[in-house]
Structure 1
Amino acid sequence: MTEVAILSDHPCHLGEGPTYDGPSDTLWWFDILEKQLFETKVSAGETTVHTLPTMASALAYVDDAHQLVATADGLYLRDIATGRLQLHTRLEEDNGLTRSNDGRVHPCGALWIGTMGRRAEEGAGSIYHFFRGELTRLYGQITIPNAMCFSPDGRTGYFTDTHAGVLQRVALDPDTGLPTGEPSTLVDHRGGEGGLDGAVVDAEGCIWNARWGAGCIDRYSADGEHLLTIPVPASRPTCPMFVGRDLDRMIVTSAREGLDAAGLKRDAQAGQTFILDPGVRGLPEARVRVDRS
């Protein structure tokens, strides 16, 4: 059995959105509901907590000095040195019912970002494509957008609506990250234990998916074959991410959301962030392209 250790024992209410920057050996993730951003030097294990003015859920590097952060009302440029946030592009700013959720950068530099109802209202969310300053709505009537990730060559995208229980794949233009066809079912998890949550693709093109409510991470082939399950010591894992200088380790964020006192007693490590050796390597996260040039 794969050994799983604790990277951070901070009990996140809703830990989500991990992103790793290899050159600085820095992992970032959010506690969405508590409006916090975590920063950890993976090799050193030192964690800094940044307080945010609003709920945020996804982060991508623009360059060595700036990040793009997806929040409840927009995409903001963040100065890494000072933490200053500057609005770049509005995101459903006129809809007080929604917030941002899962997101990931396509190899070309396009960000896919999802929105959802603050109380997971059915069909209230969408999935958007952001590239070179332009925001395009791809899919609507989404309840809980998750598992956004891409094949190594950028020709295939993956996503799910956790509420629907189906991991979908769609053909993409590798130069823009835009769909070139209609989504189709890759994994039908309807009726299975737990729900499909965040995901990441490894260097072999396989998809690693966190299974909320089932306390595990699953690995699927690009054809949808289930290859492996790794248990984690929290019932509500939310998203995996490859980390380390060789991208040969994996962290997993988790949540306490929805657990009552009895549930927290049974699930004492809920909300912590874990680290393990997956046996494969990941891919560097692409940097997001925010300008038209």
Structure 2
Amino acid sequence: MSAPELIWDLRAELAEGPVWDADRRCVWFVDIKGRTLNRYGVDDAGKQSWSAPDQIGFALPAEDGSLICGVRGGLYRFDVATGAFSLLQTVEQDRPRNRLNDGFVAPDGSLWFGSMDDSEQQKTGALYRWAAGALTLMDDGYGVSNGPALSPDGTVLYHHDTLDKAVYAFDHADGAIANKRLFATTVDGYADGPSVDSAGVLHVGLFGGWGVGRWAPDGGYLGKIDFPVSAVTKATFGDDDLKTLYCTTAWLGQDDETRAAQPAAGGLFRLRVDTPGLPQNRIRLG
């Protein structure tokens, strides 16, 4: 395993949701508070940013080449060629204090994503599944939702409540979930975005924990990948062999002294690992 390398000194207040785009050989990620969608090209280190209509929690690839983005108030389609955002589906019009947060694409092409109270005070967040244009509430009562992620065989779905430092697991089959239970509680920081490798090891960004935590499928803690910044928000597997971790970070909530001590906070990092991740799925739109 290599040491984390800063590849984009973006200094985003709350960078989140890195996702590997194999066709374009790039990493997409967002700055939620900065309201930007960002692209990093792995071959030329090219950097691009686009302004989103509001706070943007995730951007995930669809089968038609567009990205589906979780923006406060709804799901938007982002046209990569034109840079235009267009509304597809309103979400939580009855919860105006909420915004959308992390998201994930299942092997069947369904989009799973969570919401949260933007002030991080009330447990008004929820977990949703969006498939073929139909939105379904899957679970409710979250403070800060993060994830979800699926085990390699698709039978276990992980989803977090970051406020509670809790990683939950559900039984998953055919787009349905059941048997919610506590899988792990983080000690180093707060459980932020999750990803799973091909061996079923759960990789969790640790907000305030100076790294990425790793848990075995049986819930055993395997240790932490150390980082030079305190808030790691999510790690995703990329490159041709899926053995590079691309990690987003943040400086949200830091005072001037803390920020000065962590000048790379809010940047995009990468490091090499031994076990590959899982291929990125694409959202089915039809």
Q: Which residue is equivalent to 1:92?
A: 92
Alignment partner of 1:172: what SS?
Answer: strand
Deviation of residue 94 (structure 1)? 3.8
TM-score by length of 1: 0.94
Say if 1:193 and 1:214, in contact at 8 Å, map to a contact too. yes
Q: Which residue is equivalent to 1:243?
A: 238
Q: Which residue is equivalent to 1:128?
A: 128
Structure 1 regions of 5+ residues with no counterpart?
A: none
Q: Which residue is equivalent to 1:184?
A: 181
Say if 1:129 and 1:178, in contact at 8 Å, map to a contact too. no
- The superposition leaves residues 63-106 of structure 1 with CA deviations (integer Å, 9 ceiling, x where unpaired) of 25312111101111111111222211111134321100011111
Structure 2 regions of 5+ residues with no counterpart?
A: none
The size of the alignment, in residue pairs, is: 286
- The whole-number CA distance in structure 2 between the counterparts of 1:4 and 1:34 is 24
Correspondence list, 1:102-117, <5 A? 102-117=102-117
Q: Which residue is equivalent to 1:196?
A: 191
Correspondence list, 1:1-293, <5 A? 2-173=2-173, 175=174, 177-179=175-177, 181-189=178-186, 192-291=187-286
The percent of aligned pairs where both chains have the same amino acid is 28
Say if 1:199 and 1:207, in contact at 8 Å, map to a contact too. yes
Say if 2:113 and 2:147, in contact at 8 Å, map to a contact too. no
- The superposition leaves residues 28-84 of structure 1 with CA deviations (integer Å, 9 ceiling, x where unpaired) of 000001111111111221110111121111122112531211110111111111122
2:176 partner amino acid: L
> Which piece of structure 1 moves more, 282-291 or 30-39?
282-291
Deviation of residue 188 (structure 1)? 2.6
- The whole-number CA distance in structure 1 between the counterparts of 2:7 and 2:147 is 22
Say if 2:63 and 2:285, in contact at 8 Å, map to a contact too. no
Deviation of residue 238 (structure 1)? 0.2
- The whole-number CA distance in structure 1 between the counterparts of 2:101 and 2:75 is 12
Say if 2:53 and 2:71, in contact at 8 Å, map to a contact too. no
Say if 1:198 and 1:239, in contact at 8 Å, map to a contact too. yes
Say if 2:69 and 2:76, in contact at 8 Å, map to a contact too. yes
- The whole-number CA distance in structure 1 between the counterparts of 2:50 and 2:84 is 11
Alignment partner of 1:262: what SS?
Answer: helix
2:125 partner amino acid: G
Deviation of residue 193 (structure 1)? 2.7
